[in-house]
């Protein structure tokens, strides 16, 4: 967006919706700030510089008010702060321990619909004891932007406080995580996968950013089901920047299955442990990551039993080991 265009847009806006829209308000805000920031004006004349600075102040003031008070209304939900920028959508706090997931591009509506379908299917068919391992879908609806006419699929998800991604865990332990700490994360991730696979859903994007842990209670939640698929069908898309994390059936657009998720989960865990991974766990992971899907394990819950046998040989009987992100 050019500076002059941003100045005109801000001057013409009468409401927060006029200014930020409802398609992707956080994206629009970032565009405006980039176009109007005083440090980006270069050799602009004094008139443009003054107008841009005034517009910049107005945009940042309105955004703070929007994200801490009045909010933009989508359906029955009023957007609060931007809680998390996801792979293809932004997640906003809408109160009552819920996040509203708004895709940045209408072309991703099909992936949002996949997430809603996957979560409904797991809730309907899955073992109720294990449902906390996946997000709960509160609502899913289409929203049409009055200004642009663009229609987006919106998902509303229940949230759990105190969750941290495996990316955060790795940043806290840059030299690698102790295998005993990785063990409970791996075990619970396999429970989440077993829950989904028995319900007929393949996650399709088991990446560190999608595996959330609760350190104190050793909880795990597997999020972002937008890339999910049924067994024996192709995963619909790859998360940009993570192409080398996927097994070959995904990158070649071949049918995937439970073994696709199991291979990616093993990759997450070996990456997490880094140079501290015991050779026994490396060998176990290697068996999960065979080049060919048909040669990999395809039952996550049965695999959990095999992992427990390896862990008992390594560390003895299972005991609770406190974990913190502040080593």
Tell me if 94 sits within 8 A of 156, measured CB to CB.
yes
Query: Which residue, 145, 121, 139, is CA-closest to 131?
Result: 121
How many angstroms separate the CA atoms of 153 and 304, rounded? 36
Q: Which two tokens stand for residue 152?
A: 């987006």
- The continuous run of DSSP H or E covering 158 comes out as strand 151-158
How would you classify residue 96: left for phi > 0, otherwise alpha for psi between -120 and 50, otherwise beta?
left
3 state SS of 291: coil
Give me 183's structure tokens. Answer: 């063990």
CA distance 257 to 253: 12
Spatial neighbors of 174 by CB under 8 A, at least 6 apart, are none
In the prediction, which pLDDT does 249 show? 97
Task: Give me the residues paired with residue 219 across strands.
Answer: 214
Task: Tell the residue number behind the tokens 């941003």, with chain if given.
Answer: 6
Q: Which residues of 283-314 are buried (b: 16+ CB within 10 A; e: fewer)?
A: ebbeebbeeebeebbbbbeebbeebeeebeee
**Would you say 31 and 56 are in contact if contact means Cβ atoms under 8 Å apart?**
no
Tokens of residue 178, six digits: 């102790």
Q: How far apart are CA 100 and CA 230, in angstroms?
A: 25
Beta bridge partners of 164: 213
- Distance (Å, rounded) from C-alpha 188 to C-alpha 7? 51
- DSSP character string of 164-207: EEHHHHHHH-TT---HHHHHHHHHHHHHHHHHHHHTT-B-S---
Q: What is the pLDDT along the chain (327 residues), one digit of tens a residue?
A: 788 888 888 888 877 777 887 667 777 888 888 888 877 776 667 777 788 888 887 787 777 666 554 567 788 888 888 888 888 999 999 988 999 999 988 899 999 999 999 999 999 999 999 999 999 999 999 988 766 678 999 999 999 889 999 999 999 999 999 999 999 999 999 999 999 999 999 999 999 999 999 999 999 999 999 999 999 999 999 999 999 999 999 999 999 999 999 999 999 999 999 999 999 999 999 999 999 999 999 999 999 999 999 999 999 999 999 999 987
Domains of the chain: 3-67 (no CATH), 72-158 (3.30.200.20), 164-315 (1.10.510.10)
User: 73 to each of 76, 92, 94, 108, how far by Cα in Å?
Assistant: 7, 12, 10, 21
Residue 265 has a CB neighbour count (10 Å cut-off) of 25
**Where does residue 224 fall: left (phi above 0), alpha (psi -120 to 50 degrees), or beta otherwise?**
left
The closest of 114, 27, 87, 84 to 238, measured between CA atoms, is 87
Residues facing residue 73 across a β-bridge: 78
């Amino acid at each position: 967006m050019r500076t002059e265009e941003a100045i005109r847009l801000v001057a013409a806006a009468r409401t927060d919706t006029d200014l930020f829209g409802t398609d992707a308000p956080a994206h629009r805000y970032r565009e405006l700030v980039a176009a109007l920031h005083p440090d980006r004006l270069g050799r602009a004349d004094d008139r443009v510089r003054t107008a841009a600075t005034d517009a910049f102040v107005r945009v940042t003031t309105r955004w703070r008010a929007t994200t801490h008070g009045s909010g933009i209304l989508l359906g029955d939900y009023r957007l609060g702060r931007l809680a998390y920028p996801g792979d293809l959508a932004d997640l906003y706090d809408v109160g009552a321990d819920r996040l509203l997931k708004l895709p940045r591009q209408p072309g991703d509506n099909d992936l949002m619909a996949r997430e809603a379908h996957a979560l409904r299917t797991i809730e309907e068919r899955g073992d109720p004891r294990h449902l906390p391992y996946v997000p709960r879908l509160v609502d899913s609806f289409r929203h049409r932007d009055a200004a642009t006419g663009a229609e987006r699929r919106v998902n509303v998800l229940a949230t759990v406080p105190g969750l941290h991604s495996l990316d955060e865990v790795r940043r806290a332990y840059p030299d690698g995580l102790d295998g005993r700490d990785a063990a409970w994360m791996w075990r619970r991730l396999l429970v989440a996968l077993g829950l989904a696979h028995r319900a007929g859903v393949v996650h399709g994007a088991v990446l560190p950013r999608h595996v959330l842990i609760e350190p104190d209670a050793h909880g795990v939640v597997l999020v972002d089901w937008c890339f999910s698929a049924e067994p024996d069908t192709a995963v619909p898309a790859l998360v940009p920047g993570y192409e080398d994390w996927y097994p070959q059936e995904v990158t070649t657009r071949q049918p995937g299955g439970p073994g696709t998720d199991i291979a990616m989960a093993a990759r997450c865990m070996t990456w997490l442990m880094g140079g501290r991974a015991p050779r026994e766990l490396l060998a176990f992971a290697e068996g999960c990551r065979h080049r060919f899907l048909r040669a990999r394990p395809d039952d996550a819950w049965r695999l959990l039993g095999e992992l427990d046998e390896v862990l008992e040989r390594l560390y003895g009987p299972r005991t609770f080991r406190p974990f913190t992100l502040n080593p």
